[in-house]
Amino acid sequence: MKRVVSGIQPTGNLHLGNYLGAIRNWVRMQDEEPGCLFFLADLHAITVWNDPKDLRANIRAMAAALMAAGIDPTRATLFPQSLVPEHAELAWILNCIARIGWLNRMTQFKEKSGKDREGASIGLFAYPVLQAADVLVYKATHVPVGEDQKQHLELARDIAQKFNTDYETELFTLPEPYIQGRAARVMSLRDGSAKMSKSDPSDMSRINLTDDADTIATKIKKAKTDPEVLPADPALLDGRPEARNLVAIYGALADQSEAEVLAQFEGKGFGAFKPALAELTVAKIAPITARYNELRQDIAYIDDVLGKGAARARELARPTVAEVYETVGF
């Protein structure tokens, strides 16, 4: 049986990039595989400074966004990592398996710690070990990984293998990558070379999941473009990052390739394309926004879903930790 496990950091101010690049993929996974486990990676979130008020709100905001987008807590198990202490318990054991040299090779730590490597938290350094625990604690068979996470999945496999070898056991399953369709990478509406991000100071650069239809239309109307018309051949969008981004957003929302989108708009300028894109965006996003805004008011419901999800997750995680404790001699 396939067991798919995936985590996402709880962030606030969710935008179209988060939806098309991350949230929507989970909905597709849930529809493809029964019994997915999805967690909000709040233990990971505090590896860098996170204001407690923001973190608490962002955990619920992300849970609301996921459910608004289609995660069904009766089919998938949705929970915050911190409510399942087995993640941290197993991470400690795995810290004793992983080698400093292995972690020193992780490129993400080098990127995230920047110049002040000595000033980074131990948690940031050990982050990939917690990630290994996140999936091994459920004996996950498949883990979706983006390009930037491939190295961490390899590490999880190495840790699992070393544990199995050191303790002469077959306790851990070595997780495989779960291959998904090409994930959309959404760029800023103001600059085709920067990704759409909550940290961009200009609100015009992104479409927020809380924007109403008029705001969405205005932002798309004002999006940076060029005076050329759209070509039939996607290769002719090379060197036109803003144009390509809008075509890519249309394609992601309509489930069409660039070529399919261009076939409909070939020879048309942005005066014609933008209203069509705005209409499509509103059609796809407005129902999610409505549910998101509604759910976010119902904190009791969100907390109930997350509490029940955590209880279900613990039923799976507890036996693994018990087995591990027994194996290491506790």
Least distance from ligand ADP to the Cβ atom of residue 144, Å = 10
Least distance from ligand ADP to the Cβ atom of residue 89, Å = 26
Instruction: Check 53, 139, 150, 195 and give the catalytic one.
Output: 195
Do 29 and 180 form a contact (C-beta atoms < 8 A)?
Answer: yes
Active site residue 53: no
Tell me 208's DSSP state: B
Least distance from ligand ADP to the Cβ atom of residue 148, Å = 8
The single-letter code of the amino acid at 104 is N
How far CA 233 is from CA of 16, 182, 257, 261, in Å, comes to 26, 20, 11, 10
The residue (of 192 and 321) whose beta carbon lies closer to ligand ADP is 192
> How many residues belong to the site for ligand ADP (CB under 6 A)?
16
Structure-token match 């798919």, residue found: 4
Active site residue 112: yes
- The two structure tokens encoding residue 171: 């306790």
Q: Is 17 annotated as a binding residue?
A: yes
DSSP class per residue in 60-73: HHHHHHHHHHT--T
The residue (of 184 and 310) whose beta carbon lies closer to ligand ADP is 184
The residue (of 201 and 227) whose beta carbon lies closer to ligand ADP is 201
Q: Is 195 annotated as a binding residue?
A: yes
Distance CA 134, CA 123 (A): 14
Distance CA 44, CA 96 (A): 19
Given the rule CB under 6 A, which of 73-81, 114-122, 184-192, 304-312 is the region that contacts ligand ADP? 184-192
Q: Is 11 annotated as a binding residue?
A: yes
Do 57 and 69 form a contact (C-beta atoms < 8 A)?
Answer: no
Q: Which helix (H) or strand (E) holds 207?
A: none
Question: Binder to ligand ADP among 43, 133, 140, 186 (CB under 6 A)?
Answer: 186
Question: Binder to ligand ADP among 70, 123, 154, 185 (CB under 6 A)?
Answer: 185
Question: Binder to ligand ADP among 7, 21, 128, 192 (CB under 6 A)?
Answer: 21
Distance CA 26, CA 146 (A): 13
Residue nearest to ligand ADP (CB): 21
Site for ligand ADP in 1-20 (CB under 6 A): 8-9, 11, 17-18, 20
Instruction: Check 112, 162, 224, 308 and give the catalytic one.
Output: 112
Least distance from ligand ADP to the Cβ atom of residue 256, Å = 18
Is the alpha carbon torsion for 64, 66, 70, 71 positive or negative? negative
The residue (of 137 and 196) whose beta carbon lies closer to ligand ADP is 196
Active site residue 222: no
Residue 110: CB atoms within 10 A of its CB come to 12
Alpha helices in 14-149 (DSSP H): 16-18, 24-32, 42-45, 52-69, 86-95, 100-104, 107-113, 122-136
**Parallel/antiparallel/unpaired status of strands 5-8 and 77-80:** unpaired
Q: Is 21 annotated as a binding residue?
A: no
The residue (of 9 and 164) whose beta carbon lies closer to ligand ADP is 9
Site for ligand ADP in 190-209 (CB under 6 A): 195-199
Q: Which residues participate in catalysis according to the annotation?
A: 112, 195, 198
Return binding residues for ATP.
Answer: 9-11, 17-18, 146-148, 186, 195-199
Residues of this chain that interact with ligand ADP (CB under 6 A) are: 8-9, 11, 17-18, 20-22, 184-186, 195-199
Return binding residues for L-tryptophan.
Answer: 134
